[in-house]
Amino acid sequence: MSITVAVFVQKKPELSSEEFQTAYDQYLPKLKATLGEEAKPESVTRYYVRKSKSDPSKPLSYTKDGDDFKYDLIAFLTFADEGVARKFQEKYAEHKDVLAGHLDKIAVVSESRLIGVSQ
């Protein structure tokens, strides 16, 4: 049974949304190459948070004012099964310094969140 993990990422404040999107799109192949085939997600779907036209520091929010939502990217990583998801975790931990080093250039790594989701 497939497993999906939702990833929430906050960009570095000095980057524009466009710069962040370009940089994250370049990070993803590095992530996959570093982790290898046995830990690779079947799919990665990225959604970049749209920003408010009146205040580009806030998300385009249909409830409240968006002050409490700090993420710029929501990605869904789907793995073939829990074993592959666990292998992803293990390989990420093994290469955390390299991977977090790449990500740290474009994102606030300490604010990232990964949670399991289901349909």
CB 70 within 8 A of CB 10: yes
Confidence (pLDDT) at 76: 97
Amino acid code (one letter) for 92: Y
Helical (H) or strand (E) element with 26: helix 17-35
CB neighbours of residue 40 within 10 Å: 19
Of 51, 45, 49, 104, nearest to 72 (Cα)?
49
pLDDT, tens digit (0-9, with 9 covering 90-100), for 101-113:
888 999 999 999 9
Name the maximum alpha-carbon separation found in the chain: 45
In the predicted model, is pLDDT for residue 79 greater than 80? yes
Which domains can be identified in the chain, with CATH numbers?
Answer: 3-117 (3.30.70.100)
42-59 pLDDT, tens digit each: 999 999 999 988 888 889
Task: Output the pTM of the full model.
Answer: 0.88
What integer pLDDT is reported at residue 72 of this predicted model? 96
